Amino acid sequence: MKRHNDHKLSEILEHLVETPKIKSGYYKVSIEKAWAELMGKTIVSYTDSLYFNKGILRIKLTSSALKHELSMGKEKLIKLLNDHIKKNIISDIIIK
């Protein structure tokens, strides 16, 4: 039997991820995973929370020295995270 609707699984999943409710959850999980992989255990241990909404990533840290250090390299951090998740979804970072 011949199929008429042959689609790659990756195309189907990509289309599914583009639905609004799934998209925001997918981005949240992708960013949290990227943060953990890129920053390492030490920085993750000082991270209180990550919140992503409308292109802005809000990071709440428990170390003021780390806040200052990461604030100095915000642009690099944005590029690193966007490159890791292979989408340009983060436009700004607010570190608290």
Q: Half-sphere exposure of 29 toward its Cβ, with a 13 Å CA cutoff?
A: 7
pLDDT at 4 over 90: no
Residue with tokens 């583009």: 18
H or E stretch at 94: strand 92-95
Cβ atoms of 78 and 93 within 8 Å: the answer is yes
Cβ atoms of 11 and 17 within 8 Å: the answer is no
The full set of domains in the chain, from first to last, is 10-95 (3.30.300)
Q: What is the pLDDT of residues 46-82, one digit of tens each?
A: 999 999 998 999 999 999 999 999 999 999 999 999 9
